Structure 1
Amino acid sequence: MMRILLFLATNLAVILVASVTLRLLGVDSYLSEQGMNFNGLLIFCFIFGMAGSLVSLFISKWMAKRSTGTVIIETPSNQTERWLLDTVAELARDAGIKTPEVGIFPAQQSNAFATGWNKDDALVAVSAGLLNRMRPDEVRAVLAHEIGHVANGDMVTLALIQGVLNTFVMFFARVVAHLVDNFLRSRSDDGGGLGFMGYFIVVIVAEIVFGLVASAIVAWFSRFREYRADAAGAQLAGTSAMVNALARLKAETQLPDQMPDTLTAFAITTGQSRKLMERVFASHPPLDDRIRALKEASYR
C-alpha cells in the first residue's frame, strides 16, 4: 500500500505545485473575476501540466542513476560486464535503435529498468541480484524486454499521457471550484462565495480526486505497455526464454523490492498483488497474466 501512496503522491505533486504557482501568479483570480475564460484556463493548465511531465522525462536518466546507485559500464572490468555490453548492443541493433548506456545497480532482488528521454539516448540497467541468480538466456530475455520499452518509445509516450492528464486534472478542478463558487453566491443573500481560501481548498480537493482517476489511467496504460514489451522481448530473445525469465521473477516476489518508486513503471517487475486498489494502480500486470499472454501468442 505504501508503494501506491508514493506513486500517487509523485503524480499529484506536479499538479499541486502547478496549482500554487497559478495562484501566486494571479491566474486563478483573473479567470474567476472574468467569469472563467475556458480557453485561457485550458492553455495555462496545458503549459503547467506538460512542463512538469516533460522536465521529469528529460532528467529521467540522471534521476535513475542517482536514485538506484546505478554504475554505468564505461570499460568492462570482467567477463560479465563485457557480455552485458555485447548483448545490449546486439539487441539494440536488432530492434533498430542506438545502443543505450548499460549499468548495474546494487539490489539483491532480480530486477531491471529502462529510461531516457528518447530511444537513441536511453539507459538500460540490471540489478546485481538478477545477474547472480538468472541464467544467461534469462538475463538476455530481461534485457530484450527493456530494449522493447526503449524501441516502443514508452518513456516518451508515458510522459505525454501524464502531461495531458495533468492538464485536464487542473482544468476540471478549477471548473468545479468555479461552479461551487457560483452556486454559493446564488444561494447567499449577500452574494458571498467561497472567498480566497475557500476557492483554493476546493481546487486542491478536486485535484486530488481527479488526480486519483488520472493515476489509474496512467497505470492502465503502463500495464498495457508491459505486455507489448514482453512481446518485443519474446521476439528478440525467444518466447521460451522470456517465459522462463518471468517465471524466475515470479519465484522471487517475496524478496524485498529495492526499486525506487519513481522507476517502478519502467522496471520489469513490481511483484504480485491480489488487493483491488493495488491492482487498479499497479504499473505492471500480474506475472501469471504476462506468462499466459506470451504462451497464448506463441500458439497463434
Structure 2
Amino acid sequence: MMRIIMLALTNFAVMAVLFISMTIIGKLFGINMSAGSMGGILTMAVVFGFGGAFISLLMSKWMAKRSMGVQIIETPQTAQERWLVETVRKQAEKSGIGMPEVGIFYSPDPNAFATGANRNNALVAVSQGLLDHMSADEVEAVLGHEIGHVANGDMVTQTLLQGVLNTFVIIFARLIGMAVDNFFRSSDEESSGPGWGYFIGSIVAEIFLGFVATAIVMWFSRYREFKADIAGADLAGRHKMINALKRLQQAHAVHDLPGEMAAFGIAGGLGTGLRKIFMTHPPLEERIAALENMR
C-alpha cells in the first residue's frame, strides 16, 4: 500500500514539474503549450514521456552503484571474485554480448540484478547474502538469469514500453482535463485559458491512468522473468536454475530491490490482492513449475 501511495504522490510531483516546464519550453522555443493546443500537448507528451524514461535508462548504472553501494570488481582479489568474473565472462560470450561490469553489494538477503543502457554496456551485481547462502551451481544459475535479462535487451524494451505508456498517459490525461473543463464551463463564458476543471481533471486522470500504466509495465516485467529463467537454464542448466529458485523460496527473506533495480532482480517480494498486480516478479512457485514443465 505504501508503494501505491508513493506512486500517487510522485504523479502529483510530476504534474507540478510538467506545468512549470511547459511554461519555460513555450517561452524559450515559442511552442504553444496551452490546454487548447493539440500540437503543444503532443510535443510535451513525447518530450516528457520518453525523455524521463531514457534519462533513467542512461543513468541506471550510475544510480545502481550509488544507491546499492555496488563494489565493482576491477581486479579480482579472492578466489570467489575470480570465479564470479570468469563465470559472467563465459556466459556473456555464450550469449553474444559485451562483458558486463561485475559487482557485489552488501545485503544479507539473497538477490542480484542487472542494469545498463545497452547489451554491451551492462552491470551485473550480486548481494553478499546470495554468495553466502547459495552454492556455486545456484549462483551460476542466478548469474545466467541476469545475463539473460541483458541479452534479451530487457532494460531497453522496458524503457520503450514505459515511454510509450507515459506519452499516452500525458495525452489522455490532458484530453480528459479539457473535456471536464468544457463540461463545467458555462456556454456564455468567454474562454480565457484552461480553468479549474482542466487542472483537477488532468491531475485525477493522470493518477488513475498512471496506475493502469504501472500495472501494464509490471505485467510485462513478470513475463520477462520467465524468459530470463529460461536463459538461466540454457546457460547454467535447468536443474541448477530450478534449485536456485527453490533456494530463494526457502530463504523466506526475498525483498524488492529499490527503484529501477527491482524489475531486474532475481526475485521480488510477495504480494496478494491488489498488491500482486504491481509486483515486478511472478511467484517463485510459478517460475519453478514453468521450468519443471519446460520441454
Under a length normalisation based on structure 2, what TM-score does the superposition of the two structures give? 0.91
Task: Indicate yes or no: 2:29 matched with 1:31.
Answer: no
Summarize the Cα distance change of 1:245–1:43 in structure 2 as closer, same or farther, 3 Å threshold: same
Q: C-alpha distance in 2, partners of 1:11/1:66?
A: 24
Does the 8 Å CA contact 2:256/2:262 hold for their aligned counterparts?
A: no
Residue of structure 1 equivalent to 2:219: 220
Does the 8 Å CA contact 1:184/1:194 hold for their aligned counterparts?
A: no
Matches within 5 A, 1:203-218: 203-218=202-217
RCO greater where, 1 or 2, for CA within 8 Å and sep 6 or more? 1
Instruction: Please list the CA deviations of residues 87-112 of structure 1 after superposition, one character each: whole Å capped at 9, or x if unmatched.
Output: 00000011110110000000000000
Summarize the Cα distance change of 1:194–1:50 in structure 2 as closer, same or farther, 3 Å threshold: same
Summarize the Cα distance change of 1:6–1:107 in structure 2 as closer, same or farther, 3 Å threshold: farther
Does the 8 Å CA contact 2:145/2:266 hold for their aligned counterparts?
A: yes
Instruction: Please list the CA deviations of residues 48-79 of structure 1 after superposition, one character each: whole Å capped at 9, or x if unmatched.
Output: 11000000000000000000010000111110
Instruction: Please list the CA deviations of residues 126-161 of structure 1 after superposition, one character each: whole Å capped at 9, or x if unmatched.
Output: 000000010000000000000000000000110111
CA shift for structure 1 position 42:
1.8
Q: C-alpha distance in 2, partners of 1:50/1:174?
A: 17
Alignment RMSD? 2.4
Out of 293, 296, 300, which is 2:290 matched to? Answer: 293
Under a length normalisation based on structure 1, what TM-score does the superposition of the two structures give? 0.89
Residue of structure 1 equivalent to 2:169: 169
Residue of structure 2 equivalent to 1:238: 237
Task: Determine helix, strand or coil for the equivalent of 1:103.
Answer: strand
CA shift for structure 1 position 264:
0.6
Select between 113-122 and 196-205 the one with higher mean Cα deviation: 196-205
Does the 8 Å CA contact 1:8/1:215 hold for their aligned counterparts?
A: no
Summarize the Cα distance change of 1:261–1:251 in structure 2 as closer, same or farther, 3 Å threshold: farther
Q: C-alpha distance in 2, partners of 1:82/1:52?
A: 37
Residue of structure 2 equivalent to 1:43: 43
Task: Determine helix, strand or coil for the equivalent of 2:129.
Answer: helix
Residue of structure 2 equivalent to 1:264: 262
Q: C-alpha distance in 2, partners of 1:45/1:266?
A: 27
CA shift for structure 1 position 205:
1.6
CA shift for structure 1 position 181:
1.2
Residue of structure 1 equivalent to 2:68: 68
Q: C-alpha distance in 2, partners of 1:222/1:15?
A: 26
Q: C-alpha distance in 1, partners of 2:130/2:184?
A: 59
Does the 8 Å CA contact 1:173/1:203 hold for their aligned counterparts?
A: yes
Q: C-alpha distance in 2, partners of 1:92/1:287?
A: 25
Q: What residue ranges of structure 2 are gaps of 5+ in the alignment? A: none
Identity of counterpart residues, as a percentage? 52
CA shift for structure 1 position 43:
2.9
Residue of structure 1 equivalent to 2:278: 281
Does the 8 Å CA contact 2:48/2:167 hold for their aligned counterparts?
A: yes
Residue of structure 2 equivalent to 1:57: 57
Does the 8 Å CA contact 1:23/1:29 hold for their aligned counterparts?
A: no
- Opposite residue 254 of structure 1, the aligned amino acid is A
Q: C-alpha distance in 2, partners of 1:38/1:105?
A: 47
- Opposite residue 228 of structure 1, the aligned amino acid is K
Q: C-alpha distance in 2, partners of 1:270/1:180?
A: 39
CA shift for structure 1 position 207:
0.7
Q: C-alpha distance in 1, partners of 2:146/2:282?
A: 16
